[in-house]
Structure 1
């Protein structure tokens, strides 16, 4: 995802950390790292400005 983020491409965030978050909620398992990562990267899911970082 880092390469996609810095290149301004769409992220596979929903299929990776998003899936872990959803499955965790369904099964009552805390996923604090993935919840945090998802929240931080969600604004960039659709791609954006290359060279952001």
Structure 2
């Protein structure tokens, strides 16, 4: 909730200035975001698996 006050408007400005209304750039933006989320999940799943082996 606190982040949305600063980060939300900031990312909107970045998207508008870098992507504008170009559908292909917007699609690339969302695909990159989805990929980043999947990689973060993979990272945390791997860390969890390593910790489970230790404990």
TM-score by length of 2: 0.33
Larger relative helix fraction: 2
- Tell which has more relative contact order, 1 or 2 (C-alpha 8 A, sep 6+): 1
TM-score by length of 1: 0.34
